[in-house]
Structure formats: C-alpha cells, structure tokens
Amino acid sequence: MTGKDLGLLATAAGLVLLAGLFSAADAALGSFSPARAEELAEDGRTGAKRLVHLLRDSPRFLNTALFLRLFCEISAIVLVTLLAYDRWGSWWPAATTSAVVMLVVSFVVIGVAPRTIGRQHPERVALASAGPLTAVTTILGPLPRLLILVGNAITPGKGFRQGPFSTETELRELVDLAEASAVIEEGERKMIHSVFELGDTIAREVMVPNTDVVYIERHKNLRQTMSLFLRSGFSRIPVIGENLDEVLGFAYLKDLVRRDFEAPDVETTERVEEVIRPAYFVPDTKPVDELLSEMQARRQHIAVVVDEYGGTAGLITIEDIL
C-alpha cells in the first residue's frame, strides 16, 4: 500500500469518526431539555451557557450537525471508493467493495454506536458538543437556515419555519415511554394526554349531565342545605328556582359554615338563596380549552352548562376538563 493509499485511508477514517461525533451530538441535543440546560447554567457548568443558547434555536444547529454528518460520511465513501479503485483497477469491484465496507462501518460507527452514546449520556455529550457546534454553525453563516428553507420548499404541505418538529403522535408515544420507564406516574400520563384532547372536546362531552346533578331549592333553609351538603359530600351545590332550568347561583359549604358560626340562630329561618354566589353560564358547544382559560381567568371552579334552547344541560368543573 502506497503512501497515497495510506493518506486516503487515514482521511476516510477521520471523516467517519467526525461523522460519528456529529451523530452523537445530534442524538444528545435532540433529547436534551432546555430547562435542564438552564439548571446547568445556574450551577456554573462549563459549556452550559452555550448549550442554552444552542437549544433556543435548536433546528438551526441540529441541521448543521446533520449536514456535517452527511458531508463527512459521503466524503469518506468517495475516498474509500478511490482507494478500492487503486487496488482493483476497475470501478465495479471498487464500488461493490466500498458499498459493503462503508455500509457496515456507517451502520456501526456512525449510526448505532454514537447515537446510543448520545442518548445514554445526553448531558455530557451535549455540553461537550455545544461549543464546537456553535463555532462551526457561525463559520457556515446562513447555510443552515438556507438548508431549512430548501427543505421547506420541497416538503409537501406548509413546511416548517424553523425545521422539523415532532408530531402529536410522537409526543404521545414519548409520554407513554416516560410512564413505562417510571419517569412519570400513570395519573400524570393521563393528565398530559388529556391536554392534547382539549382542543377537540366541547363542554357537552365532559360535563356532569343534569340527571346526575344534586340541586337544592331556593326556599330551603340553611340547616336543610347543610344536611344536603353532608349527605352528598359536595362542597358546592346549585340553587334553583321554579325548575332545573332556573339556576340562581351556587351555595358554598364554607359560606354556610361561616354563616352558621356568625349567627347560629338563623339556620332554620334564613333561606339558602340569601347566601348564594352568582352562577357562571357557558354553552354546551364551547371548546373546553377555551373554557379552561376563562374559568382560570375568572377564578371560577364550576360552571352551569346550557343547551341551545337555554335550558340547563349540566355542570362542569375544572376537574372534569382535566
């Protein structure tokens, strides 16, 4: 083997190692949390500030890592092909040998091994790669953003302003994996899944229907109301007038307890309608994500759901939404 061949082989090996490093960086940065990076920066870890900056514009830097990995990998394949041609003197044996050798090398050294290391040790790899990747991206200038624009131009649909992102299905699967790995509990997994469903759900679908709601008439006294609170176990009960469609407001258990403490002699003479709070009415077709925002802004824990005819359809609480 001549000195030229040794030079080609050494260069190809170096390019393969570089491609592996970029692959490890891609895997680590793609799975690293920006919140965790900020914690490391607050702790004064070396490279953490650069990592925070990188993750704020992660599509740009991840595209740089992908571009450099492909560049190094393809360049190594070309060099190995030239080396094989010098050895065999024919393109077909050279191309076949190069394809077989580089397939195995790329799969192990560029594909499996570095990505496994990046995912198993994301913190160490991300901190180590943040500085070099930031420097290379700066040197390349507008090229990473140009690659994103080209990808968006040829991608069917609307494309992405800042590069590819995970779909909702992938995020749901990630939550399931986190629960299976005991990172989060089952109740937390269900709550996160419910967040994805908020935009597709209306109040009618999650409310407590009228037939299951406990009401009290306006003329009942405080003792009767307190008795109903104790029997039902609820802390809020709607107060109605002539029928179920006439909801006057809500009786709160804490209000009755306070009133009974301040004036215990009126519990049989004072009617519940005198201590009620105003009711909050919402249409049964209202999306629950909008309803949740409104209830939080108004500090309302419970609302009356009305149908298209103005009648009472049921009740809905924040717990029902979540």
Q: What is the Cα Rg of the chain in Å?
A: 32
Instruction: Report CA 41 to chain centroid distance, whole Å.
Output: 23
41 and 108 fall within a common domain = yes
Residue 87: partners with Cβ closer than 8 Å, 6 or more residues away: 5, 94, 97
Question: Among all chains, which residue has been given the structure tokens 């830097």?
Answer: 61
Q: Which residues of the chain have pLDDT under 50?
A: 160-165
Cβ–Cβ < 8 Å for 79, 101 = no
The pLDDT value recorded for residue 162 is 46
227 and 302 fall within a common domain = yes
Last residue of a domain, one of 164, 184, 215: 164
Concatenated DSSP letters of 161-180: SSS----HHHHHHHHHHHHH
- Both tokens of residue 82? 């030239």
289 and 209 fall within a common domain = yes
pLDDT in tens, 62-82: 888 888 899 999 999 998 888
- Both tokens of residue 91? 């393109």
Residue 209: domain span: 203-321
Q: What is the pTM of this model?
A: 0.51
Domain count for the chain: 3
Q: What is the side-by-side order of every strand in the sheet holding 302-306?
A: 208-209, 312-317, 302-306, 281-283
134 and 207 fall within a common domain = no
If residue 317 lies in a helix (H) or strand (E), which one and from where to where? strand 312-317
The pLDDT value recorded for residue 281 is 95
Concatenated DSSP letters of 51-96: HHHHHHTHHHHHHHHHHHHHHHHHHHHHHHHHHHHHHHSSHHHHHH
59 and 102 fall within a common domain = yes
Report the CATH number at residue 315.
3.10.580.10
143 and 188 fall within a common domain = no
160 and 11 fall within a common domain = yes
Say whether 248 sits in a helix, a strand or coil.
strand
The pLDDT value recorded for residue 102 is 87
10 and 124 fall within a common domain = yes
31 and 147 fall within a common domain = yes
Helices 122-140 & 48-56 angle (0-180, nearest 10): 60
214 and 273 fall within a common domain = yes
Phi-psi label, residue 210: left if phi above 0, alpha if psi -120 to 50, beta otherwise: alpha
11 and 160 fall within a common domain = yes
99 and 214 fall within a common domain = no
The pLDDT value recorded for residue 96 is 86
